[in-house]
Amino acid sequence: MLTVRTRIGITQAEIAKILGVSRKAIGDWERGSSYPQAIHLKQFIAFAIQRQAFPAGRAMEEVRAMWNSAHQKVLFDENWLTALLSPLQISKPLQPVTETTAPAAHLVDWNDAPAVPAFYGREREMELLTGWVDAERCQVISLLGLGGVGKSTLAVSLMHLLAEHFEVVIWRSLRNLPTCEEFIEELLQVLAPESVNGEATGLERRQRVLLEQMRKTRVLLVLDSLEALLEKGEVAGRMRPEFESFERFLNLTAETEHQSSVLLTSREAPSVLVPLEGSQATVRSLRIAPLDAASCDKLLSDKELIGSPPDRMRLIEAYTGNPLALKIVAHTIVDLFDGEIVPFLEKGEVIIGGVRSLLEEQFHRLSSLEQSLLLWLTILREPTTIDTLLEAWAAPVSRARLLEALDGLYRRSLIERGFKPHEFAPQSLVMEYLTTWQITQTTAEDQEEKLERLIEHSLEQATMGEDVRQI
């Protein structure tokens, strides 16, 4: 990599900006102390080819050698390299990945897609999703997970990796709550602008025109933050009444044959897609797990935190490998504790500022039954069966309603399965937030001489082990 960069005559800082990584990462790669992810290596190779950095007639051989020396877990894509080496590809200069211009004559509309200055881990997810999109031609894929776990970052990185396989790539955030009419019109402005002011009038007609474009043109459409359109309360994954037209759009893209892919991110699984999912179907979902410890450690290193490996692991475990929570708390540690992890951990307060807001937003989306269930799971603290929950519950609740609430919490990525069958527990970060919330609420009621919270939920139970009682 150093040799090729020197041939081009570009600095580490300049190549870091193009790849969207830190200059330190480029230095580590060139020294061989770490290796780039496939997405960054492919971007570097594409840039080098377009700058004609490889000797004439030896480009294919040198690129293969570079790939093999970079310890990649992803198999080398010969078709991708052949396409890059075609005269059409070489004649067009590569733009930095944050530009709205498309690589290799493709149309890319990044819109308000977030910049990804550094991407950590997720090799397994990237490989799996690449196979679903490129090899199996899945039509709709949902990336699901707790807020801050990295769904949007993964979606953006996948866009950059797969852009060359599509004729059109479009990113749209649903956080600002566009109407379905506005949303469809925006897409048609990109795919078929002549239809907007032409014969395609009415939502149904425009949806059919859009679908026809998705048949004729291979489109990658990424929809971020779908949960903004979903109803709060009893039924997880149901569209709010004013956004029910989006259900029709998702149904059409999932059930009608076309050559495009819709990739969406959400904290909740949209109920309209759940019956259509299957391991052999063109509709799939991937639940995004917490970031692995090694990648979290790399994230903390880039934030220049100070601490021994065990201290760093304690911090990672406290935030359940949630990358956004770790980034938020890293800033606090740098600003208030001179970057030292131990003094922060000794304060014992994990849920702070932006982390609290992140979890508060999801908790208040729940129905009263789901909130109560999540609080009982927090009180019990260990993976728990449905029978144990029914015994603990102060007020009578039917098994059927409890199962519905458990399903809702799981689909909202707030609980996880235990190691044993039929056991459930809150995500660790959720449990920490609710422990603090429960204590705060109970204390406030006590000061006001009320007992509502303590009547509904205990703080500990007689059958608890001593370790849980101490917590």
pLDDT, tens digit, for every residue of 209-239?
899 999 999 999 999 999 999 888 766 778 8
pLDDT number for residue 198: 55
Query: Which pLDDT value is given to residue 69?
Result: 86
Report d(CA 208, CA 74) in Å as an integer. 38
Q: Which of 126-130, 318-322, 348-352, 391-395 has the highest mean pLDDT?
A: 126-130
Q: Which domain holds residue 58?
A: 2-90
Contact 373, 334 (CB under 8 A): no
pLDDT > 70 fraction of the chain, expressed in percent and rounded: 92
Q: Is there a domain that residue 95 lies in? A: no
Average pLDDT, the chain: 83
Is the Cβ–Cβ distance between 400 and 436 less than 8 Å? no
* Residues 297 and 283 placed together within one structural domain of the fold: no
CA distance 258 to 240: 27
Residues 446 and 415 in one domain: yes
pTM: 0.69
Q: Tell whether 278 and 316 lie within a shared domain.
A: no
List CB contacts of 110: < 8 A, sequence separation 6 or more.
98, 99, 100, 159, 169, 171
Whether residue 63 has pLDDT greater than 80: yes
Give CA–CA dist 439/432, Å, rounded. 11
Residue 96 lies in a domain: no
**What pLDDT does 411 receive?**
81
Q: Which residue has the higher pLDDT, 23 or 260?
A: 260
- Ranges 60-69, 176-185, 418-427: which has the least confidence: 418-427
Task: Give the phi and the psi of residue 219 in degrees, each rounded to 5.
Answer: -115, 135
Q: Are residues 140 and 251 in the same domain?
A: yes
Same domain for 48 and 80, yes or no, is yes
Assigned domain for 416 exists: yes
Total of domains in the chain: 4
The whole-angstrom separation of Cα 325 and Cα 126 is 22
The per-residue pLDDT for range 175-192, each reduced to its tens digit, is 888 888 889 988 888 888
Q: Are residues 124 and 155 both part of a single domain? A: yes
CATH of the domain at 437: 1.10.10.10
Q: Are residues 117 and 250 in the same domain?
A: yes
